[in-house]
Amino acid sequence: MPKNILITGGGGRFGRAAASALAEAGHRVFASMREPTGRNREQANALWAQGIDVLEMDVTDDVSVERGVRNILAKAGRIDVLVNNANVTAIGACDAFSADQARHLFDTNVVGAFRLSKAILPAMRRAQDGLIINIGSILGRISLPFIGLYGASKFAIEGFTDALRYEAAPFGIDVVLMQPGVDPIAMYECAQLPADRAPPSSDGLPLRSSDALFDQIMEHFKGCDGPEPTDLAMQLVTLVAADKGSRPRRIVVGPSYGIDEINLLTRRIQAGAWGALGMNGPDAPPTDGRPKS
């Protein structure tokens, strides 16, 4: 059955691929981005040409989010699926970024997902149906140097997604987290560079360039069988088509670097915590990580 789908960050590498794949699967897709008639005109025109609804939305702005959701509901009557994909990265040593840069990153990656979920959940609760997909990262489970602020935002998405899943389930709403591997092209596409490009070392000598160390890490990922945007897009198509209640809580896309095991262990610990609190929480069957065939 065709669904009405809102995907944020529609102008980015993954957002464009996802919007296209979902539209080709027969769904009505609303792809949001900033400045679709300005700096993102080329990306917006490509989506418009495929029959995809493009709307201007800034996920860091309450008014913009609320206006965008109202406009979709007025046009389509409902929003069946929300894909929280808007995202910025940060490339450099943690302390080389300004507080304003860190604030912007968390406002986009974490609070932005919260804003959209908050705006859409009332309609989903009334319908007793819906699906929210948050785009996380393997960097929300493992930490690497010089991508630390970005990883911290994805750690936050892990916790937010779990809590939202528990809270939304009684209303017939599924919440799923996708954990893609690192895509070097996408990392650079939406990257913030640190305000302080060359922080001094304790002995007054400059540290080795964080860009060079980051490039070393990215070179490793380039040599791996990392996820292409089409890989994530097809996983989204499968998730949307799945029956309510049958969807996995997490999906790892690309090399897992061991986070499959972390996912399973975390879920079992959470289930134990529910039991210790005397509550009937979710159990821990092995459905986290990679979807079963």
Tell me the mean pLDDT in the region 238-256.
93
pLDDT of residue 285: 41
Average pLDDT of the chain? 87
Tokens 């840069």 -> residue: 101
Phi-psi region of 213 (alpha: psi -120 to 50; beta: other; left: phi over 0): alpha
The token pair that represents 149 in the structure block: 């602020």
Task: Work out the burial of residue 190: count CB atoms within 10 Å of its CB; fewer than 13 is exposed, 13-18 middle, 19 or more buried.
Answer: middle
- pLDDT score for 287: 46
Higher pLDDT, 178 or 218: 178
* Percent of the chain surpassing pLDDT 70: 83
In the chain, the percentage of residues whose pLDDT exceeds 90 is 63
More confident residue, 40 or 118: 118
| Residue 136 and residue 110 in contact, taking contact as beta carbons nearer than 8 Å | no
Q: Which residue in the list 150, 166, 188, 257 is annotated as catalytic?
A: 150
Q: Which residue has the higher pLDDT, 185 or 176?
A: 176
- Annotation marks residue 166 as catalytic: no
Q: Which of 16, 5, 27, 6 is nearest to 228 (CA)?
A: 16
More confident residue, 238 or 191: 238
Q: What is the 8-class DSSP label of residue 170?
A: G
Q: What is the pLDDT, as a whole number, of residue 187?
A: 67
- Taking domain 4-276, whether its CATH number is 3.40.50.720 is answered by yes
CA–CA–CA angle 13, 15, 16 (5° rounding): 70
What are the Cα distances from residue 78, in Å, to 81, 87, 171, 247, 280? 9, 25, 16, 21, 31
- Model confidence at 214, in pLDDT bands (50, 70, 90)? low
Report for 112-116, 184-188, 221-225, 287-291: range of highest mean pLDDT: 112-116
What pLDDT score was predicted for residue 279?
Answer: 76
Q: What's the average model confidence in pLDDT over 14-28?
A: 95
Mean pLDDT, range 154-176, rounded to an integer: 96
How far is 176 from 169, CA to CA, in rounded Å? 11
pLDDT at 224: 60
DSSP annotation of 106 = H
pLDDT at 293 over 60: no
DSSP collapsed to 3 states, 120-146: HHHHHHHHCCEEEEEECCHHHCCCCCC
Backbone φ and ψ of 275, nearest 5°: -65, -40
The pTM assigned to this predicted structure is 0.88
pLDDT of 54 strictly over 50: yes
- What is the pLDDT at residue 291? 42
Q: Residue 4: helix, strand or coil by DSSP?
A: strand
Structure tokens at 106: 């968390």
**Residue boundaries of the structural domains of the chain:** 4-276
Contact 27, 34 (CB under 8 A): no
More confident residue, 184 or 54: 54
108-136, pLDDT tens digit by residue? 999 999 999 999 999 999 999 999 999 99
Q: Is 62 helix (H, G, I), strand (E, B) or coil?
A: helix
- Which pLDDT score is estimated for 68? 97
How many C-beta neighbours within 10 Å does residue 212 have?
9
**pLDDT at 91 (0 to 100):** 83
Please tell me which residue, 211 or 7, carries the higher pLDDT value. Answer: 7
Lowest pLDDT segment from 21-35, 89-103, 167-181, 188-202? 188-202
